[in-house]
Structures are given as C-alpha cells and as structure tokens.
Structure 1
Amino acid sequence: MEVAGIHRLFARSKMLCNVKYAHYIGDGDAKVFPKLISDPPYEDVSITKIEDVNHFSKKMLHRLQKIAESLKKNNIDGKLGIRGSGRMIKKMMINFKHYYRLAIVRNKTNLDDMVRAVWAIWKHKPSSNSEPHHEWCSPSYCGYLQALEKGEEYDHTPHSLPLKIMKAIRSAFEELAHPDTLKRVRNGGSQNANESFHSILWSLAPKNRYSTGVMIDLCAAMAVSFYNDGYQSIIPVLAELTGNTGFFTRVGMKRLDERRIYYEHKRKRKAVQKSKQNEEASDSLSDRMSVDDNRDDQLDDSYIPGAY
C-alpha cells in the first residue's frame, strides 16, 4: 500500500501541481525506491532518495551493539569484551548515536565537514591529558577547547574511553564516516512532520478499525485543517453543513486549541529548564547526559555542555 501510494503521489504531481519531485526523504524501506526506479513517474527526471536522519543515525547504535556482541569473549584491555564500567556501556552507545546524528545535522550541506565531524568523535573520546586529540573538534561542544580558550586546565579522565576500546569500534566509524555512506544524508531532513500529521489522522480514523474511502478522505481533510489551523478551523464547515454551530461546540474547539498551545509551551519550557540544569551540572560532572536509555525521543538537537 505504501509503495503504491507514494508512486501515485509522484505520478500525479505534474498534472495536479505542475511540479516534478526530484528528491524524497525516506527511512530504510526496501521497496519504495526500487519501484520509483523501475517504473519512473517522469521521463526526464531521475529521482534521488535522501535518508531520514533520525533513522540513519541509529546505524551507529546498531553497529556498536553488533561489535560489542561479537567481541564479548575477546580479551580487550584486560577484560572480556568492550562493555563494563568505564568502557562501552549502553548509555555510551546511545550517546555515540546522538553525537553521530548531530555531526550530520550540523554539517548536512557540506560532505567534507560532515566526514570530519564524525571522525572528530572518534578522535575526541580516547583523548587523555598526556595525548589530547582535539584538532577536529569544535569549541561549541568540546570541553577541552573551551577550557583552552579560558586558560583553564581540563581533565579528560571522567569521560575518556580506553584507546583499545576505541580501536575495537573503529570499523563502525570506517563504515559510517565514509563519504559514500554520508552522502545519502547530505541535505537530509526528518519525517517527524509527517509522523506528527499521521498521529492526528489516525486518531480520527484508527488503523485497527475499518473505514470506507469516503471516511478516510473526510478524516484526511479534517486532519489537514486541525494540523495547520487548529480545531476552530472546522467551525465554518460545521456551520455550513448544519446551518449553525452551538455554543458548546465553539467552546470545546477553543479549549482544544488552547490545550494544544499550552502543552507545546510546557514542552519548550521544560526543554529550556533542562538545558540550564545541564549547564550547571557540567561544572562538576563533565560527562552526564539527561537521556533515558529506553527513550530515543528524549534526545534533543544540541550538544549538552561538558558531555562531549
């Protein structure tokens, strides 16, 4: 269904909107892009797929987990495997995924800078007080360079990983920092806006319940109105259909819009407070990140001061 739907969107774009789509952002699906290549909707346009950054960055986590599993019986730096306290724990793997995503997002228009930023992660983590390697780091996130600018001393010990551990995971960086790999996310974006719209649509027409085509069309039109202009945008439509709208209908729609705005402001306010708390904590704990191991949606779009 997804393959047929996307191909239809491409095929009718010229007739309906007088445009041709040359790129599309997609996740790791294996059927949509081959369909667009084997049955091209346009005669003179070659379609290019851009990977979704959020899905793509999970490759780093998956590669690290795979390496950790394959090396769990190998003696590395005096212990079996790469896991353990002061080594590659689960939270550290999630942090690496977070850093990898940010390296892509902050350099998505320049492939060379993107490659350099990803390798900067690998060079930064095994750095020690006697052998710092921060020549590719940025002062925006690197505590060592920030301390250097202030003329202060910097201790690598709290967050540094053993060099042998970093060498063990080097193959993941060789693959994921390769230009041929990263060019798939150059100028990339996210499908989050689509997912947010879909959540509104499926709340009106749940997937686990059958709906006719007419009902899906109606729910899709309502979802577009709610998503772009709020719930009160449906009031003129109801007035035209019924001749008038009641007092409680208008009050109810207004309250739904106010609640939506309230929770969005509350979310942003918590994000600001969380950032301030991280800045205060970074003075004493330079390698702490407020990320739940089981909640990827808590990862924000900025480096946490002192955590890198």
Structure 2
Amino acid sequence: MVATKQASAALRKPAKKSRKEALAKARASKEAKRLGQEPEPVAASPSTSATPAADPVSAENGIPVKLSASKRKLDLMANFAPQPSDMSQRLLLLDLSCLTALFKPFSCKSCGGKLTVISDTRKGFVCQLKTVCLRCEAVLSKTMTSKTLKGSSHYDINRRAVLSMLNVGLGFAGHTTFCETMGLEGLTEKSFASHVREIHQASDRLKTAVLNKAVKKVYEAHGKAEGDVLDIAVSYDGTWQKRGHTSKHGLGVVIEVTTGLAVDYHVMSSFCQPCSTKGVTMKKKGEAAYNEWWEQHKVSCTINHTGSAGMMEVEAAKTIFSRSLGRGLRYTTLVADGDCKTFNELQELRPYGDTSICKEECTNHVSKRLGTGLRNLVAAESKRGTTLGGRKQGSLTQAKIALLQSHYKKAVASKSATVGELSKKIWTTFYHASSTDCNPQHHLCPTGTRSWCFYNRALAFGKDPPSHKNRSSSSISPHVAEKVRGVYERLTAPELLQRCLKGLTQNANEAIHSTIWSRCPKHLFAGRRRVEIATTIAVGNFNSGSTSLRELTEECGCGVGKISIAHGLKRDFARIKRAEKAETVEAKRRRVDMARAVTVAQQEFLAAEGGPSYISGGF
C-alpha cells in the first residue's frame, strides 16, 4: 500500500512539472508569434519601456516574480522569534455533563456511593470543580479550572479571553455575544475593563521592544552601527478611528522605506470617558470640587490632543519627528500624499536644526490627480455646453479616464533618472492616445520589433501601419485631446515630477492602517486604550508576523504553548503565500482587467438605466 502511494506521488510530480513547461511553451509561442508577424487588433497598453526588465530577485518560467514585502519583513525579523514558554499547556473547552460521565464508574471509599462533579465559585470563565459523593455528600477533591497569573489575582484563561476579543476587534459587547452563543458565563464589565487596563500596560512594554527591534534591523540594512545618527527615508500617513472629520482618535505611523518596517507611531485622542461623565458632574458642583477631582484624575486622563480631528495627523507627525533623534534616527526624506499641512508644519518645527527634510510624493496619490482632473474637466465642460464624455468614439468615458490614469501611474512609478525622462514617459501616453490616421503622434513611443506601440512596431517590421481605429482602448479624439492637454501640462510640472523620481508610495501605510482598524473597527466606539492596544498588535504583526502576538501573550503573564506557535506559523505561511501570489505578473494583470471590467459594466448599466438612480442631495 505504501509503495503504491509512493508510485502515485512519483507519477504526479512529473505531471505538475509538465504543466508548467506547457504554460511556459505557450507563452514563448505567443511571444514568438507577436515578434514574427503583425499582431491581431488589440488594445495597446503604453508602458514605460520597450521591454520589461526582469526582476533581479527571482523568475519563474520567464515571468518576473517580485519578492513580497511580507516575506522580506518576516525573514528579516525571523531571529527575534521567541521559544514556547509552556510546553505542557493545553487548553480545552469542556461540557460539565461529559466530565461528570467520567466519574460514573468510581465510588466513594468511605460509603461506596457514586461520585459526581459539580462547579462552584465561578469567576468569569473560571470555576471551582468539586468531586462529591452523591450518598454522603463528602467533597473528595477540588480544583480551579485555570491557574492564576504570576503576581496577580487574575486567572490565565480570563486574561486570554479578553486578549483574544481585543485581537479580533471586539470589546465587552462582543464578549457578551460570544458567551451568549456559546452558553458560557463570561466576565463582568468591571472585570473585563480591569483586564484591558493590564493588557494596555503590557502592550506599552511590547511597543518599546517591537520598535527597538525594527530600528536595529534598519541600522543593519544601512550598514551602520547603532549609536550613529542615521538619515533615512520614511513614508508617513495619518489615519482616524472614525470616518469623516469628527473622529476622537487618530494616529500616525512612520515606515522606513528600505526595509518596509514600521519604526514609530503615535496615537492622538481628544476623548476621555471619566472627563465626559464624572468631570461634567464635578464642574456642576463648583470649581473647588472639580479642581480636587482633576488633581487625582489628570495622571490617568487619556486626552492628549485639543483641536480638530484633521490636526491629529499633523500633531502626531511633530511628536514622532521630535523624538526620532533620541533613537539615533533622522527622517530626512518624507514620502507623503498631496496634503502639505504636515510637511509645512515640520519645516517650521525644524526637528533636526539645519538638516532639512525633503518631500517625496506618493505616486499613487499623484496619479489620482489625473483622474480627478479629467473628471472635473468633463463636468466643467458639460456646464459650458461642450460634451467630452458620452458613447462616441474617442470620448472621455469613465473607463478611458481610468486607463489614462493607469498609464500615467505606470510612468510616474517607473523610477526615472531625470525629470525630463519622466516627463517624456508621461507625454508618450498622451500623444499615443491622441493619435489619429490623419495625425499620428508616435514620435515619443519606443521603437523596434518589441515596442508596445502598434504603429512603431509595424514600421519596425517594414509594414504599413494599420488604422488607429479600435487599436487603442485609450484613444481620444482631437477636440478632447485639446481640452485634456491642460491637465497633463499641470501634472508634468518640473517641481512636481522632481518629487516623483524615486517612484515611492504609501502602500505600506495603507496596509498597516487596515490591519489596525480590523482590530478596532471604525463602526464601533473605542477608547484610547483600545486604539493603542490595537495599534501595538497591528504594528507587531506588520513587522514580524505572529511572533509579536506571542510576545504580547507572554508580556500579559500567559504562557505560550506549541499549539499557539503552530497556529501562528500557519498564519504567517498563508500570509506569505497570498503576498507572493499577488506579486506575480498574472495576478497584477488580472486585478487590472477586473477593475476595468467593473468600470465598463457599471457604465453600461448607467447607460441602459438612463443615468444614475441616486444623486446626493437630489429629490
């Protein structure tokens, strides 16, 4: 039987390899066909170079595969993984009636009566179990169902339950719902809050460890010894706990560009529960009573920001940059979005004295300006009686705007050497899209047999260029191009492109924001402690995966067993596999195609339905 399984496995392996070889041959055949003869009429997709550069890290079947950020970070922080602290720990959920059934065969030594198990003295998920004789009612043995934490009166299982609720983004209300569904007697609100306070203290201690490890890796990546002042490029972005402009909590995270590790963060809050309840009551009793109460409360008050929610991003940045020198770092290059308020405030603050901070634009945000500018242009021209959109050939539809924005983004993110080179790449996409049979404008498009430009490729093969009709899905008519040119001129200004040469983005910040708010959902109310705990867990997970959660578990006084480590390693492995799959060329192309298909489908629905069915502020 074993030999049969081995033979089957041996037969399956070559089959898997042959499938890969077949795919590689199919791609090679398709490429040879494209190079050897005039291709079928397909939509041209302007890129920034004539031939795609292979990724230096790895390649599979000739298709470049970029090393994912998740794998890079987890490999970088692998040597910080802790060992299990409690190898024997194995936690279970038990039905008391099933446990009682185990004692049916046994009898009391004194009177021969049957034994049973009863529960008593319940504290949250913990209770005292007693082995009792049903005849003489003697208590033969008793034990608690969980051990107490070292140096604390709290029980291990209760602490784990609260930590688990916080890690999945639930508070006391979620804990109560869980217990209701499971049929368990959970913690009281007071006990839950007590555990949250102690977990918050543990997360504060973990924050220092997590960020220090990240800084150590940054020094190693730059080949510098710790203690020297290191100038680094960072991306910074703010995020808020509530949508809109009325959030009571906000935070900012700084991520080092080279390693992709979060090196610092700061949480801002303009809300304190005791101040909004007890404080209001004490004010009504008089100034003397309030001042007496305030002297006792100010140490634990959670308010550290006074002002609008929008200024939280600015104040968090000023705090983070001001304390960076204490850690041996200077954030001399700042990758930020188009909002200049934060950068201007940092320029006025001058945290590094005569050493200035230069700004790099996030290429994603810059490319969005083109889409916004084109949509505003269509709306503005419509009010003047000029139609740029519609269903005519060469009109500026939503799908075409998205495609032009995609081409602009690809050019801006290409990491050009000079402003002139970057400007040429952008104008290439414009002229290619605005070309017609009467006025072909492919002088900037790459030449040669491997050019993505159908016009220049045909010339390279010595053939007559085909008609422009239906050759490019981004084509725009001459009168539309005349109006669009002004938007391109504004977005190719040298001072703007100078800040885009490195092709940097805030993708890492957006990723960590989603990780934070998955543990502290925006639609649920939360206090500053909850936000800080969620941020610490999220930053730790972002930097080093499941390792940080195990460290927090130990910091809370709970042991870490083999089962916890196994689950964590499985989660890290799945994370890396998802990230690697998302980095493949096929996956990226599929995401772009799906996004375009959705845009086109929505546009067709609107046309068939006679326009939008809902307009904000309409009747």
TM-score tier by shorter-chain length is: 0.7 to 0.9
| Aligned-partner Cα distance in 2 for 1:277–1:260 | 18
| Aligned-partner Cα distance in 1 for 2:550–2:348 | 45
State the partner residue of 1:84.
390
**1:119-138 pair list within 5 angstroms:** 119-138=427-446
1:51-86 deviations in whole A, cap 9, x for unaligned? 2111111111111112111222556xxxx4111221
* TM-score normalised to structure 1 length: 0.78
Q: Alignment partner for residue 170 of structure 1, among 485, 496, 511?
A: 485
Give the C-alpha shift of residue 188 in structure 1. Answer: 4.1
Which amino acid in structure 1 is aligned with residue 456 of structure 2?
A: L
Does the CA contact (< 8 Å) of 1:27 and 1:52 recur in 2? yes
State the partner residue of 2:358.
48
Which amino acid in structure 1 is aligned with residue 350 of structure 2?
A: P
| Aligned-partner Cα distance in 1 for 2:581–2:320 | 36
| Aligned-partner Cα distance in 2 for 1:276–1:9 | 39
Does the CA contact (< 8 Å) of 2:512 and 2:542 recur in 1? yes
**1:1-308 pair list within 5 angstroms:** 1-17=312-328, 19-72=329-382, 80-85=386-391, 86=393, 87-139=395-447, 140-152=451-463, 153-158=465-470, 159=472, 160-207=475-522, 208-213=524-529, 218-232=533-547, 234-235=549-550, 238=553, 242=557, 244-268=559-583, 272=586, 275=589, 290=596, 292-293=598-599
| Aligned-partner Cα distance in 2 for 1:14–1:245 | 35
State the partner residue of 2:119.
none
| Aligned-partner Cα distance in 1 for 2:558–2:380 | 69
Does the CA contact (< 8 Å) of 2:415 and 2:503 recur in 1? no
More helix by share: 1
Give the C-alpha shift of residue 247 in structure 1. Answer: 4.4
Does the CA contact (< 8 Å) of 2:411 and 2:426 recur in 1? yes
Give the C-alpha shift of residue 9 in structure 1. Answer: 1.7
* TM-score normalised to structure 2 length: 0.41
1:226-263 deviations in whole A, cap 9, x for unaligned? 22332155436645755643444233323322332343
| Aligned-partner Cα distance in 1 for 2:549–2:587 | 35
Give the C-alpha shift of residue 93 in structure 1. Answer: 0.8
Which amino acid in structure 1 is aligned with residue 321 of structure 2?
A: F
Does the CA contact (< 8 Å) of 2:414 and 2:503 recur in 1? no
268 and 176 in structure 1: CA distance in 2 versus 1, 3 angstrom threshold: closer
44 and 136 in structure 1: CA distance in 2 versus 1, 3 angstrom threshold: same
1:101-159 deviations in whole A, cap 9, x for unaligned? 11211244310111112222222122123432111112553222233333444331113
Structure 1 residues 253-262 or 64-73, which shifts more? 253-262
Does the CA contact (< 8 Å) of 2:582 and 2:588 recur in 1? no
| Aligned-partner Cα distance in 2 for 1:36–1:229 | 30
| Aligned-partner Cα distance in 1 for 2:595–2:554 | 51
Which amino acid in structure 2 is aligned with residue 193 of structure 1?
A: A
Give the C-alpha shift of residue 175 in structure 1. Answer: 1.1
1:198-232 deviations in whole A, cap 9, x for unaligned? 2223323445442445x655544433332233215
Does the CA contact (< 8 Å) of 2:516 and 2:538 recur in 1? yes
Number of residues paired by the alignment?
280
Secondary structure at the residue paired with 1:50? strand
197 and 275 in structure 1: CA distance in 2 versus 1, 3 angstrom threshold: closer
Secondary structure at the residue paired with 2:486? helix
Secondary structure at the residue paired with 1:292? helix
| Aligned-partner Cα distance in 1 for 2:562–2:515 | 25
| Aligned-partner Cα distance in 2 for 1:73–1:216 | 46
| Aligned-partner Cα distance in 2 for 1:2–1:273 | 34
| Aligned-partner Cα distance in 2 for 1:147–1:107 | 29
Unmatched 5+ stretches in structure 1: 282-287, 295-308
Does the CA contact (< 8 Å) of 1:175 and 1:181 recur in 2? no
Does the CA contact (< 8 Å) of 1:26 and 1:51 recur in 2? yes
Could you list the runs of 4 or more consecutive aligned residues of structure 1 that deviate by over 6 angstroms after TM superposition?
A: none
| Aligned-partner Cα distance in 2 for 1:266–1:186 | 28
With a CA cutoff of 8 Å and minimum separation of 6, indicate the structure with the bigger relative contact order: 2
Give the C-alpha shift of residue 167 in structure 1. Answer: 0.7
State the partner residue of 2:17.
none
Unmatched 5+ stretches in structure 2: 1-311, 601-619
Secondary structure at the residue paired with 1:293? helix
- Mark the structure with the bigger radius of gyration: 2
The two structures, once aligned, show a CA RMSD in angstroms of 3.2
Which amino acid in structure 1 is aligned with residue 515 of structure 2?
A: I
1:14-42 deviations in whole A, cap 9, x for unaligned? 2212x322220111224212211222212
277 and 196 in structure 1: CA distance in 2 versus 1, 3 angstrom threshold: closer
More strand by share: 2
Does the CA contact (< 8 Å) of 2:433 and 2:476 recur in 1? yes
Which amino acid in structure 1 is aligned with residue 343 of structure 2?
A: F
| Aligned-partner Cα distance in 2 for 1:16–1:110 | 34
Give the C-alpha shift of residue 168 in structure 1. Answer: 1.7
